[in-house]
Structure 1
């Protein structure tokens, strides 16, 4: 009679163990499932913003640059100032304090892959913007830089317009596409003039084509992004009007 009792106890033990193993398997599957969902959410979140940006800027694809954003009347007259700093390179460990907001010239970094910023990328946010010292090197090479302040950064429609403008300069096969749109923050320096939230800057050789004389920094401030004003600005101050126009 002892053997059947022992067999019954063993059967109960085996049943308990089987139940525990099944529960462990379910927990394991649940953990795997949760991890998979989290991974999908992370991937989805990473993909969401680029897809949203693409969707939001689709309205500008059929438009000319001059048709995007506010009219040119939203911008002030251009300003100039004698420029210095041509070929004045400082180590990338050194920060430069620029007097102007934003800079149009000055000492700058010179390191392959860092300064100047790459020709292939036309639009930046605060999360990926190059340092000012890199961007000033771009200016020396003939780029026009569109700077937008924190007011614009918080305005979805204005940001869509800037992305739409930047899209017009896509590609690396035409030096006329030397354009970058970047944020200007309180940490960078002074605010733009009252009521102005966008600025164009360019490093000019002064119109005589001689990089050794008459160099100027050029600015134009706008209350809103204006493709019309930008187009006129870049026609007046093309990439060829710069200390090093043939460098990328």
Structure 2
């Protein structure tokens, strides 16, 4: 009887030991599974952060070899250029004073003048809605001979169009202070409108503050030039900037 009890105890110990081994094996597999899931999640998070960056760089490279005129829609996507008598030359108002511009977008008018605020810096060629300077600052850039490409919310919501505008802006970027690169791409927001809107079906606009001709010094000859497009067009922009170069402006020598 004693031997039977001892044998039974030994058998139970063997079973318990076997169960412990199985549990350890289960725990080990569970731990491996948890680690595996964590690795997959970490890789996913890393990929989510890196893939857009890599894609943006590849998109930029796609346009780097293209001439300005080959980016975006053909020039036929744009309406004819129109002009309007300009005012506001040297009309500086205090920073944070709002100006009621009658055109969407403006090509001239009163504007802010403060170092570091207005005009916007020469080196920055492309703005999103989150970083765009105030209209009153950008109008000062226009007075200095800049051409501004404005894009509306329809364009802002279309990645292909935004890639094209970024590529257009990149054609004017660099470390030099070449005055011919007086260009800015900036969003036109619904809060900017004050009742004025882009024409129906038009989502991009070019504006320039013309002196009324190269070397013209009579402020009464100044005009604002406008061109509206249904889509970004490097070809139309190139033609527009040839017609209205930086030196055809009230203050072409200022940055």
Q: Normalised by the shorter chain, which TM-score bucket?
A: 0.7 to 0.9
Query: Residue 113 of structure 1 corresponds to which residue in structure 2?
Result: 116
**What secondary structure is seen at the aligned counterpart in 1 of 2:239?**
helix
Q: State how far apart, in whole Å, the 1-side matches of 2:56 and 2:142 are.
A: 27
Query: Residue 17 of structure 2 corresponds to which residue in structure 1?
Result: none
Inter-CA distance 204–57: structure 2 relative to 1 (3 Å threshold): same
Q: Which runs of 5+ in 1 are unaligned?
A: 1-36
Deviations 1:73-105 (A, max 9, x none): 000000100000000000012011100000000
Q: Aligned residues, how many?
A: 209
Deviations 1:145-195 (A, max 9, x none): 000000000011000000010000012331000000000011110321001
Q: State how far apart, in whole Å, the 1-side matches of 2:53 and 2:131 are.
A: 14
Query: Residue 200 of structure 2 corresponds to which residue in structure 1?
Result: 194
**What secondary structure is seen at the aligned counterpart in 2 of 1:187?**
helix
Q: State how far apart, in whole Å, the 2-side matches of 1:102 and 1:75 are.
A: 15
Matched, 1:137 2:140: yes
Query: Residue 220 of structure 2 corresponds to which residue in structure 1?
Result: 213
Q: State how far apart, in whole Å, the 1-side matches of 2:51 and 2:117 are.
A: 28
Aligned partner (choices 157, 165, 178) of residue 182 of structure 2? 178
Q: State how far apart, in whole Å, the 2-side matches of 1:74 and 1:57 are.
A: 23
Return structure 1 stretches of 4+ with deviation > 4 angstroms.
47-52
Aligned partner (choices 43, 56, 60) of residue 53 of structure 1? 56
TM-score (norm 2): 0.77
2:214/2:247 contact within 8 Å kept = no
TM-score (norm 1): 0.80
2:92/2:113 contact within 8 Å kept = yes
**1:51 offset after TM fit, Å?**
5.0
Q: State how far apart, in whole Å, the 2-side matches of 1:152 and 1:124 are.
A: 13
Aligned partner (choices 77, 80, 92) of residue 80 of structure 2? 77
C-alpha RMSD of the superposition: 2.0
**1:107 offset after TM fit, Å?**
0.3
Aligned partner (choices 240, 245, 248) of residue 233 of structure 1? 240
Inter-CA distance 246–48: structure 2 relative to 1 (3 Å threshold): farther
**1:140 offset after TM fit, Å?**
0.2
Q: State how far apart, in whole Å, the 2-side matches of 1:99 and 1:245 are.
A: 24
